[in-house]
Structure 1
């Protein structure tokens, strides 16, 4: 039976993680290691300035105090699994909210998958898009489509192999629709998201200034062939994007060489 390590960036108590466990526990051996609290948008960060405590909540289920998703994967692989018995797959999610376009660089969900493939373990990041992120999953949505999707992908891995080379992972986004409304899967590229600056300045009761970063609407630049993740989600498809860690802009190498030579 496939051995899967589960994590997320919404915290060990998150409903998305609970749904992921429900979906996969019947077809794989599950170990869960997740942050003790919400670590959304923490990126691919490791905690280096303080010690971390891994706390066993129940069999094969751990939380790590104030850890990032990257910490969870890193510490799990080094301490919970004996050499030669590493997990076959890491699944990160089910995140509450989209992780598309450049948001992948902010995402703790995607970063856990990044850490897994750096460590030589295939990985999937899966996120549930919400109609209204300020309300989150409580806007009437369920995880049925996300659960069906991850089960289908994992079964394909069980019956075959992981479809990507090393240092690449699958980034999956689920549209905010019911499972029977989904039009299918689309293999997509990461889109070009438009960003604003939604920061709010406030004063606390002592007159001290503080800031709160808000939420940005999902606005993107349309692609010529409608092949990006945002467009697939908008059209009612599950988006599956292959992501590689090598961010080198190869087409600019010669341009830079010429620029320096001038």
Structure 2
């Protein structure tokens, strides 16, 4: 039976992870390794300054104290599988909230997929875009569309092959709609995210100041062909973006050579 390794950045008890387990358990053997607490926006961070403890929650389900999604991948790949064996697929999610545009660089969800492909394991990061992040979850969001899409993608990969080369992964964003409302899937590019200043300054009871970073609204620069992840989701399509880890700006190499030699 094929093996899928699951993780997320919302924590081991997150509703999105539970939905992912429920959707995928009929089609593969699952191993789950997730952070013990929420690690949203931790990026591709690896813990090097303290030991990490992996605790068994139940059969094939583990949490790592204060570990990042990257820690979860690195430790589990090298310690939970027999030498010479790796999972057939890594899936990270279902994240609560979008991971589109440059937010991919902040995302712990995407980072887990990055770590997996560094170890030559096919990977998918999947995120549920929310109209109202808190209210959607309180109202019992069923992740029906996300579960439907991830099962289809996982089956396609497990029964054939991963569509990308090494060190590339699929970044999937699900619009906040029902299966019936979905217009289909669009293959997209990462959009151009606009950022504001969503920080709040406060004073604690001792008069010491502290800052709290909030959630930026989903604002983006329109792409010429309306082919980015933001626009696909807005139009009620599932967005699938191929992401590569090589961030070299190849188009600037020659001009930079000229600049440095001038």
Shorter-chain TM-score: which interval? over 0.9
- In structure 2, do the counterparts of structure 1 residues 236 and 101 end up closer, same or farther at CA, with 3 Å as the change threshold? same
Residue 174 of structure 1: how far off its partner (Å): 0.1
Unaligned runs of 5+ in 1: none
1:81 and 1:177 map into 2 onto residues whose CA distance is 37
Count of equivalent residues: 262
Partner of 2:215: 215
1:139 and 1:133 map into 2 onto residues whose CA distance is 10
For the 8 Å contact 1:132–1:139, the answer to whether it is kept is no
Q: Give the secondary structure class of the aligned counterpart of 1:78.
A: helix
Asked if 1:167 corresponds to 2:167, the answer is yes
Partner of 1:256: 256
Q: List aligned pairs for 1:39-188, cutoff 5 A.
A: 39-135=39-135, 137-139=137-139, 141-188=141-188
Unaligned runs of 5+ in 2: none
1:114 and 1:136 map into 2 onto residues whose CA distance is 28
- In structure 2, do the counterparts of structure 1 residues 139 and 205 end up closer, same or farther at CA, with 3 Å as the change threshold? same
Residue 135 of structure 1: how far off its partner (Å): 3.5
Residue 140 of structure 1: how far off its partner (Å): 5.7
Partner of 1:238: 238
Residue 133 of structure 1: how far off its partner (Å): 2.6
1:233 and 1:218 map into 2 onto residues whose CA distance is 11
- Greater than 4 Å deviation, 4+ residue runs: none
For the 8 Å contact 2:188–2:229, the answer to whether it is kept is yes
For the 8 Å contact 1:9–1:109, the answer to whether it is kept is yes
1:208 and 1:99 map into 2 onto residues whose CA distance is 34
1:246 and 1:258 map into 2 onto residues whose CA distance is 23
Q: Give the secondary structure class of the aligned counterpart of 2:98.
A: coil
TM-score w.r.t. the length of structure 1 is: 0.98
Q: Give the secondary structure class of the aligned counterpart of 1:161.
A: coil
Residue 142 of structure 1: how far off its partner (Å): 2.4
Asked if 1:6 corresponds to 2:3, the answer is no
Residue 136 of structure 1: how far off its partner (Å): 5.1
TM-score w.r.t. the length of structure 2 is: 0.98
For the 8 Å contact 1:7–1:91, the answer to whether it is kept is yes
Residue 82 of structure 1: how far off its partner (Å): 1.1
For the 8 Å contact 2:88–2:158, the answer to whether it is kept is no
For the 8 Å contact 1:131–1:139, the answer to whether it is kept is no
1:139 and 1:232 map into 2 onto residues whose CA distance is 25
